[in-house]
């Protein structure tokens, strides 16, 4: 069952963005980049490493390097339900 992004963030997932540099299959001296983004759990990053394993097994261009960042947008303790609103004129 697919979960919404909000449900994932409330369970502790954060947005992971990775920039993969790889060598072109036909021209090994040429580097190209690919941006990958998904919700993942820090510090183990299972989805990122699963994608890197997929790349190494299925894509012809060998990886040169990977840079990534992880950002928790909200955490379970930061969310609260607001029932009302007061307006001051």
Which residue matches tokens 């947008």? 73
Residue 20, domain member (yes or no): yes
Confidence of residue 75 (pLDDT cuts 50, 70, 90): low
Which pTM was predicted? Answer: 0.75
pLDDT at 5: 83
| 85: Cβ contacts below 8 Å, ≥ 6 apart | none
Q: For the chain, what is the domain count?
A: 1
Measured CA distances, 68 to 14, 15, 19, 31, 86 (Å): 12, 10, 6, 17, 42
Q: Could you read off the pLDDT of 9-66 as tens digits, one per residue?
A: 888 889 999 999 999 989 999 999 999 999 999 889 999 999 999 999 999 999 999 9
Domain of residue 22, residue span = 5-75
Residue 21, domain member (yes or no): yes
């Amino acid at each position: 069952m697919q979960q919404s992004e909000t449900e994932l963030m409330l369970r502790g997932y954060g947005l992971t963005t990775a920039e993969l540099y790889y060598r072109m299959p036909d021209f090994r001296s040429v580097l190209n980049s690919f941006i990958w983004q998904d919700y993942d759990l820090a510090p183990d990053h299972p989805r990122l490493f699963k994608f890197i394993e997929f790349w190494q097994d299925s894509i012809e261009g060998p990886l040169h390097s990977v840079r990534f960042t992880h950002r928790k947008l909200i955490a379970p303790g930061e969310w609260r339900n607001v029932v009302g609103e007061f307006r001051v004129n």
